[in-house]
Amino acid sequence: PLLAITIGRLGTYCAEEVAPHLVTFIRPACFSLRNIRDNAEKESAFRGICYMINLNPSGVVNDFVFLCDAIASWSTPKPELKEMFSRVSLPRIVFCSCSGRVSFCL
């Protein structure tokens, strides 16, 4: 779990550098994060993951179900995080990754 939290936090502070590698770690990160109780560390990790998805939506297409499972593990996300989750949907991710218009999708 600590590695998943660290990777998520890297997404908060240096998303442009980490986002291209999203496909290599999103599945194990989601497995780890779904088993952590709601807390500030989990929240910061998910914020970073959402930032990275906005920069590299194609990095999560194949593992979208695992992302949904991790998001569903939240009992009571804060409103701002809930809003970030609402912007992560498969049609949106597929559109953004296929169109190449990521700035339009943010």
Encode 32-53: b = buried (16+ Cβ within 10 Å), e = exposed: bbbebeeeebbbbbbbbbbbbb
Higher-pLDDT residue of 28 and 62 is 28
pLDDT digits (tens, 9 = 90+) for 46-89: 999 999 998 998 899 889 899 999 999 999 999 999 999 988 87
**pLDDT attached to residue 8:** 93
Residue 96 has pLDDT above 70, yes or no: no
> pLDDT band at 106, cuts 50/70/90?
very low
Token output for 3: 């590695």
Tokens of 59: 């990095």
